[in-house]
Structure 1
């Protein structure tokens, strides 16, 4: 039973950071100028990806009989507040927004890496879900990083 409870806790943590990601990308898209339609489109796609992640993680929790927690983390709120402050000084600069989005992607990558560590004890079917989501997050991180690097 302890392993199931730990798995539910890990999955709820991933739901939290995906909820942070949803809010972060929605906010970042609002910070962009009209000419940055390409980034807005990307950010909305990544927001929607995290919404799908939340749904899939929630389904996995329900299958184990657990309860889904749909909150956002405190660090996510701090991350969004920092973006507000920084963008106020930067004039909603494309590179600055990309840098902050990359920072957020670094955080979610670490969360998924921790969830997949040997100590987590996730069931094989849950590990498969988390691994698949992690791969898409790594791809998104690399895409955001490449766009940021192109701004130099």
Structure 2
């Protein structure tokens, strides 16, 4: 029972950080200027990616007979509040938005790495989380490359 609860907590933490990522990219997309349609498409693809990750993780939480987390993390809320303040001073420059997105990608990668190090994560779930982490690393690198290409 203790291991089940620990596993559910790990999975729900990952659901929450994916909720953060979705909200972050929705906010970033809204903050982009109209001419950044291709960047908005990237953000929408990454939102869909996190929605798919949440579905897979939530299915596992439900299999344990537990409730799926629907909120975001406290640190995610704090970070989004910081984005609100920063946007008031910097405007909606694509480079700054991408820099903040990279910060968010760093945070979700850290959460996934922490989950993968947790001994309470069963092997069959470790494979799912590891695959998601791999895709997140690709997304991180894409955002970083986009940030570096925008001046």
Segments of 5+ residues of structure 1 without an aligned counterpart are none
- TM-score (norm: length of structure 2): 0.96
Q: Does residue 151 of structure 1 match 2:145? A: no
Per-residue CA distance 1:76-120 (angstroms, 9 max, x = gap) = 111111111112211200000000000000000000000000x33
Report which stretch shifted further, 119-128 or 71-80.
119-128
Equivalent positions of 1:19-30 (< 5 A) are 19-30=19-30
Q: Distance in 1 between matches of 2:137 and 2:116?
A: 14
Q: Distance in 1 between matches of 2:119 and 2:13?
A: 12
Q: Does residue 108 of structure 1 match 2:121? A: no
User: Could you tell me which residue of structure 2 aligns to residue 40 of structure 1?
Assistant: 40
User: Could you tell me which residue of structure 1 aligns to residue 85 of structure 2?
Assistant: 85
Superposed CA RMSD: 1.1
Q: Paired residues, what number?
A: 151
The alpha-carbon deviation at position 64 of structure 1 amounts to 2.1
Q: Distance in 1 between matches of 2:134 and 2:108?
A: 12
Segments of 5+ residues of structure 2 without an aligned counterpart are none
The DSSP-based 3-state class of the residue aligned with 2:68 is coil
Equivalent positions of 1:62-101 (< 5 A) are 62-101=62-101
Q: Is the 8 A contact 1:17 1:108 kept in 2?
A: yes
Q: Is the 8 A contact 1:7 1:120 kept in 2?
A: no
